[in-house]
Amino acid sequence: MRRHRFKNFWFVAFVIFFLFTLLIVWVFFVGLRVDKNGKFYNNGHNAVWVAHEWAGETKSLHEIQDLVAKLTSHNIDTIYLHVGPLNADGGIDPETYKATAGFVENVKYQRDDLKVLAWMGQIRNKLDLSDEKVRRNILNMCTIFTKMIGMDGVHYDIEPVWDEDEDFIKLLEETREILDTGTGVMYGDDGHKILSVALAEFIPNSFVWWTEKISNFQNYNTEKNYLNVAKYADEIVDMVYDTGIDHDFLYKWFVKEQVIWVTDLMDDPIARDTMLLIGIPAYEDVKDGFNPDVENVGNAILGLINGLNDIRSSHEKFTGIAIYPEWEIDEREWLIFDGLWNEKN
């Protein structure tokens, strides 16, 4: 009788242990979730990267009206306008952005709440940010775009940056000071200027440590860099593309987990005033590390919604979607975007 009770005890203990393990696996790999649609999380603050031609070539009022109308119809309220890659010295040739003032003026005439940010990018190893003169030239460009031309802020897309990139953080600190000083002259603008920063996807440092012997991550940021950037940035755009993933379900799972990880991270007191956008791909270049049949608008938004629905995410920290880029997203992709995110049929 005692032996029988002993066997029953271990059987019950095994069942409890098995169910507990199953629950842990379910919570952390599948996730407990609600079932809200995209429109529930869409607060109307979405962004798009716009081609350099709008800054470098004079466009007609009709062309700008069409662009504004299109973006408005898709619930886009922020433009990252490519004003030119930064030169090695940190400056930009004025000829490169000669049409920017007219573009901004006409956009604001059509819709004054549509924000236009100066998108300045460059490969990190082409910019010696330890050189004070290079940083000063970049800051001068920020002053020109925000204080003289009247843009709503700047958007840095300098890649790659890394956890110990103290010179990049110094640039952000100095940019914050510049943007918070003085007023814009073109529109009599005395409002807050936005500092927006695009970052590679967030990978927890503990995950990097556990997998470093089997996977060599090339372009990522851990919590250290995300929080360092959040000290100075008004918004961070997490670019969830160029992952090298070749299967739909894995990419959607990756985006889902990315949303969970990064929204939870941004709930840190350091980042609580920083907006978070998730950057999704709409381009179709077939290249190493990117498969457009997998990494696309539809799969990215489905993964995003799954992440926001997961109870592990801090969905209140999520601000919106940023689409890269406007010049390649076609009508079919806009229909997918609207069907999943804006609930238009």
pLDDT bracket for residue 125 (50, 70, 90): very high
Give residue 287's pLDDT.
Answer: 83
pLDDT at 133 over 50: yes
Per-residue pLDDT of 253-268, as tens digits, reads 999 999 999 999 999 9
Per-residue pLDDT of 6-33, as tens digits, reads 555 555 556 566 555 555 555 555 556 6
Give residue 155's pLDDT.
Answer: 98
Cis peptide before 325 (omega within 30 of 0): yes
The single-letter DSSP state of residue 192 is: P
Topology of domain 35-342 in CATH is TIM Barrel (3.20.20)
Q: Are 160 and 180 in contact (CB under 8 A)?
A: no
pLDDT at 79 over 90: yes
Q: Which whole number is the average pLDDT over 274-290?
A: 92
Q: Which whole number is the average pLDDT over 58-78?
A: 98
pLDDT bracket for residue 115 (50, 70, 90): very high
90: left (phi over 0), alpha (psi -120 to 50) or beta: left
Q: Which whole number is the average pLDDT over 140-157?
A: 97
Give residue 184's pLDDT.
Answer: 47
pTM: predicted TM-score of the whole model, two decimal places: 0.89
pLDDT bracket for residue 286 (50, 70, 90): confident
Percentage of residues in the chain having pLDDT higher than 90: 77
Give residue 220's pLDDT.
Answer: 72
pLDDT at 306 over 80: yes
Number of C-beta neighbours around residue 216 at 10 A = 7
Q: Which whole number is the average pLDDT over 284-307?
A: 94
Higher pLDDT, 197 or 345: 197
Give residue 214's pLDDT.
Answer: 46
State the chain's mean pLDDT as an integer: 89
pLDDT bracket for residue 107 (50, 70, 90): very high
Q: Which of 2, 164, 154, 152 is nearest to 86 (CA)?
A: 154
Cα separation, 175 vs 270, whole angstroms: 18
Q: Which of 61, 167, 28, 52 is nearest to 120 (CA)?
A: 52
Higher pLDDT, 279 or 206: 279
CA distances from 18 to 15, 23, 25, 30 (A): 5, 9, 11, 17
Alpha helices in the chain (DSSP H): 2-25, 38-41, 53-56, 61-73, 100-110, 132-143, 166-179, 205-211, 223-230, 248-265, 297-309, 331-337
Q: Domain residue spans in the chain?
A: 1-30, 35-342
Cα separation, 252 vs 219, whole angstroms: 19
Give residues with Cβ within 8 angstroms of 275, minimum separation 6. 45, 234, 235, 236, 319, 320
Q: Are 127 and 87 in contact (CB under 8 A)?
A: no
Per-residue pLDDT of 180-231, as tens digits, reads 986 444 444 557 899 999 999 998 876 655 545 545 555 578 999 999 999 9
Give residue 204's pLDDT.
Answer: 84
